[in-house]
Structure 1
Amino acid sequence: MTIHLTPDDMRSTRTPEYAVRTGADPEVWQLSWLPGRTLTRKQAFAGMQLDELLSDLNAVHDKRAHAQIEFCAAALGIAWTQAAGQLFIRMLDRLDADPEEVARPRPTGRPRTATWLFAHPDATRRVVLG
């Protein structure tokens, strides 16, 4: 899983969803798939991870991925099933939309790649920025 980070947005290499900073405060973010919710940067990143994990068909039978999914959903204060439903609705909306309207907005800053590795949801994280 790879999430490109800039000071103003987060983009996935796996899904069309994204997170953007809203306003001047670097800790106020919003997820494209969870409109109307104001999040911290950490929560926005957890939402991006959750989107990528739920989009990974290879994780269906992976117990570690299931734990990560629940951990990320808890960081957002929602159930993973609610997140999966919201992402499914977004996918349906994109299928019904005009292709010009669903073009991905370009990142606003210089991308940096973050890779998070978990041995367990409570384990320490290793972040690689390059």
Structure 2
Amino acid sequence: MTIDINQREMTSDITPEFARCAQGEQVWSLSWLPEQRLTREQAHAGMELDEILSDPEVVFDDAAHSEAAERAARLGILVEHAVVMLAQRLAERMHRETLPPCPADAELPPLPQLPEPMLTGWFTATYAPATTGARSQHLWA
């Protein structure tokens, strides 16, 4: 694991995620956990956590799992939360890479009018679950 650290930024040679320090403050944030205000030590722990979770070699390594849990605890989150946040960031990057570039001056088409969702109001007191159905009749007959 190699994390490059300077006064304003932490980057990794393993992952595209990063940590940044707010201008004129001692408050850090992680690219994958932007809503949390962190200390420099917490930001470093977050970068280490990202590197651990990005390494496919440690999937079954109990020591790495313990290290990941310890780094997550420093951030005040669970490892599972970190996994979800990092997976979302990965999906966003993959989605951006598959979209064709859009010229800055291109006019966007209007959004289509969507039909009313079928499940509107499903959570109201008038909702009654189905007691029969082709699938259930087939399975239980």
Give yes or no for TM over 0.5. yes
Alignment pair present for 1:87 and 2:86: yes
What residue identity is the alignment partner of 1:94? Answer: R
The structure, 1 or 2, with the larger RCO (C-alpha pairs under 8 Å, 6+ apart) is 1
Q: Which runs of 4+ in 1 moved over 6 A?
A: none
What residue identity is the alignment partner of 2:24? Answer: A
Partner of 1:77: 76
Q: Secondary structure at the match of 1:11?
A: strand
Shift of 1:98: 4.7
Aligned 1:13-92 pairs, distance under 5 A: 13-25=13-25, 27-92=26-91
TM-score (norm 1): 0.73
TM-score (norm 2): 0.67
Q: Pick closer, same or farther for the CA change 1:59–1:98 going to 2, 3 Å.
A: closer
Q: Secondary structure at the match of 1:37?
A: strand
Unaligned segments of structure 1, at least 5 residues: 100-130
Size of the aligned set, in residue pairs, is: 98
What residue identity is the alignment partner of 2:17? Answer: E
Unaligned segments of structure 2, at least 5 residues: 99-141
What residue identity is the alignment partner of 2:72? Answer: A
- For residues 81-113 of structure 1, the C-alpha deviation after alignment (integer angstroms, 9 at most, x for no partner) is 0000000000000011158xxxxxxxxxxxxxx
Query: Larger radius of gyration, structure 1 or 2?
Result: 2
Shift of 1:23: 2.5
Shift of 1:33: 0.3
Q: Secondary structure at the match of 1:66?
A: helix
Partner of 1:8: 8
Higher helix share: 2
